[in-house]
Amino acid sequence: MSSFQTSPGTRDILPPHAGRWRALIQVFADGVESAGYQNIIPPLFEDLGVFQRLGDATDVVTKEMYDFMDKGGRHIALRPEHTASVCRAFAQHRPTPPWKVWYSGPNFRYERPQAGRFRQFDQVGIEVLGVDDSQLDVEVISLGWDFYQAIGLSNVSLVINSLGDAGDRGRYIEALGAYFTTHSETLSEQALATLERNPLRVLDSKRPQDASAIAGAPAIGAFLSTDAAAHFAAVCAGLDALNIPYVVNERLVRGLDYYQRTTFEFISGSLDSAQNAVGGGGRYDGLVEDLGGPATPGIGFALGVDRTLLACDAEECFSYGFPALDVFVIDTTGGSYALSITHQLRHSGFSADRAFEGRSMKSQMKSADRSGAQVAVIIGDTEAEESTCTVRNLSTSEQTTIPSTELQSHLVSVLGPRQPRRHTP
């Protein structure tokens, strides 16, 4: 056992898992960039106040924040999510709306780790600021939906709801609070505590004891203003038009207080654990203003990378293998040929690796096999003397010896042409 290990709720993403991880983000980026979203990279930490706008009644703010005083006396917090940072960035830089951005990166919440829940956890997501159109809600939801389809997840369901505008929401919370107070004798102790802080969240309780009270609770639908109801109906109609299946769940409340109007979650049916929400989002029309910017509507979603990959494991999709190398260079004469040949091949655009420490032919062949390389280029004493090299096809075991000067052209004929790698803007 080594002296140090990762802190609770954090872990190393090792190969080959990290490769799969990167591939997942690439699929996401390709999808949203083709819809006009550009990448944003906000800082990992911000002034604590930025995140307090998530809501004083939320656990994320009250007890899960990684916060500290820096050497300049500022009260800093590691970001628990991206949305507040994106809104702060909008308020700070005032880009021209509509502002469509996507992000990926870690967030931090001090929670007890559990299946699909970590203290450092990654999300990918998008946010759009400055557009109030219900068709944008549909676009945002469809991009999330399309991403799950793109990676091959078939057992994901979309649940949507509307929390109404700020006034509706307030009236609903009031009614809900009154209702639960009259049923307080049937509620669990924990639910009563939740009721004190935010009656909405009581709807989220998974305790069997609370089920009957929740079942009889008033629904949000009756509290929606004409505008909010029309907006929600338009969103549903848009999803219908795109043939995206969804379920309206009037009990869907989300944990962050800034949500208004459209809210949605993506639930994986393939995850047994309690953490089966693989993504979620909604409108947060008041957040930019809260952060000192102009009144600006906003909508977005965040998808949990960890949970999404867990769902992929469960559905046995989005498999990943490290791309096979083109060439493995074997040199039993001391290594100087391997040094120069791999260097030249890499410059020509071939992927190439080699062994070190002067290992035996057998050992180097094993390494070549493990590397997944398609061909081995072998330099032994004979080849060194004759200025030749032996090229072995590792899947057919056929091999041929050619003059060293013909190696590049021979590999091109066997593996196809390669372009030197360089950055092209």
Partner RNA sequence: GUGGGCGUAGCUCAGUUGGUUAGAGCGCUAGGUUGUGGUCCUAGAGGCCGGGGGUUCGAAUCCCCUCGUUCACCCCA
Considering the rule CB under 7 A, would residue 362 count as an interface residue with RNA? yes
Binding to RNA by CB under 7 A, coded x per residue (else -) over 1-20, reads x---xxxxx-----------
Pairing of strands 277-283, 45-47: unpaired
Q: 192-198 long-range CB contacts below 8 Å, 24 or more apart?
A: 197/57, 198/57, 198/58, 198/173, 198/257
Considering the rule CB under 7 A, would residue 243 count as an interface residue with RNA? no
**What sections of 79-130 are H helices per DSSP?**
83-93
Cβ neighbors of 237 (< 8 A, separation 6 or more) are none
In whole angstroms, give the CA distance from residue 301 to residue 83.
8
Closest-CA residue to 138 (of 229, 31, 235, 228): 235
Binding to RNA by CB under 7 A, coded x per residue (else -) over 171-190, reads -------------------x
Give the one residue of 52, 194, 270, 351 binding RNA; rule: CB under 7 A.
194
Considering the rule CB under 7 A, would residue 254 count as an interface residue with RNA? yes
Give, as ranges, the residues between 382 and 401 that touch RNA (CB under 7 A): 382-383, 390, 392, 394-395, 397, 399
Give the one residue of 31, 144, 164, 280 binding RNA; rule: CB under 7 A.
280
Binding to RNA by CB under 7 A, coded x per residue (else -) over 321-340, reads -----------x--------
Give the one residue of 126, 256, 341, 352 binding RNA; rule: CB under 7 A.
256
**What sections of 277-335 are H helices per DSSP?**
287-290, 305-315
- 139 or 331: whose CB is closer to RNA? 331
Residue owning tokens 């490290």? 322
- 155 or 363: whose CB is closer to RNA? 363
Considering the rule CB under 7 A, would residue 59 count as an interface residue with RNA? yes
Angle at 247 between CA 36 and CA 259, to 5 degrees: 60
Considering the rule CB under 7 A, would residue 360 count as an interface residue with RNA? yes
- 31 or 280: whose CB is closer to RNA? 280
Give the one residue of 265, 285, 315, 353 binding RNA; rule: CB under 7 A.
265
The HSE-up count of residue 78 (CA atoms within 13 Å, CB side) is 12
- 22 or 366: whose CB is closer to RNA? 366
In whole angstroms, give the CA distance from residue 136 to residue 126.
12
In whole angstroms, the minimum distance from the beta carbon of 333 to RNA comes to 9
The HSE-up count of residue 238 (CA atoms within 13 Å, CB side) is 18
Give the one residue of 21, 76, 106, 111 binding RNA; rule: CB under 7 A.
111
Considering the rule CB under 7 A, would residue 161 count as an interface residue with RNA? no
Stretch that binds RNA, among 240-248, 285-293, 300-308, 316-324 (CB under 7 A): 300-308
Considering the rule CB under 7 A, would residue 419 count as an interface residue with RNA? no
| Total residues in contact with RNA, by rule CB under 7 A | 70
Q: Cα 53 from chain centroid? A: 23
In whole angstroms, the minimum distance from the beta carbon of 205 to RNA comes to 4
Pairing of strands 156-162, 67-69: unpaired
In whole angstroms, give the CA distance from residue 368 to residue 376.
7
Give the one residue of 136, 141, 288, 368 binding RNA; rule: CB under 7 A.
368
In whole angstroms, the minimum distance from the beta carbon of 419 to RNA comes to 26
Considering the rule CB under 7 A, would residue 279 count as an interface residue with RNA? yes
What DSSP assignment string belongs to 147-211? HHHHTT--SEEEEEEE--SHHHHHHHHHHHHHHHHHTGGGS-HHHHHHHHH-HHHHTT---HHHH
Closest-CA residue to 84 (of 253, 279, 256): 256
Give the one residue of 87, 278, 287, 312 binding RNA; rule: CB under 7 A.
278
8 Å CB contact between 274 and 268: no
Cβ neighbors of 200 (< 8 A, separation 6 or more) are 172, 173, 176, 253
- 338 or 345: whose CB is closer to RNA? 338
Helix-helix angle 189-197:208-215, to 10 degrees = 50
In whole angstroms, give the CA distance from residue 61 to residue 100.
26
In whole angstroms, the minimum distance from the beta carbon of 216 to RNA comes to 17
Considering the rule CB under 7 A, would residue 381 count as an interface residue with RNA? yes
Binding to RNA by CB under 7 A, coded x per residue (else -) over 209-228, reads --------------------
Judged by the rule CB under 7 A, the positions of this chain that interact with RNA are 1, 5-9, 58-60, 64, 81, 109, 111-118, 121, 123, 190, 194, 201, 204-207, 254-256, 265, 272-275, 277-280, 302-304, 306-307, 332, 359-363, 365-370, 378-383, 390, 392, 394-395, 397, 399
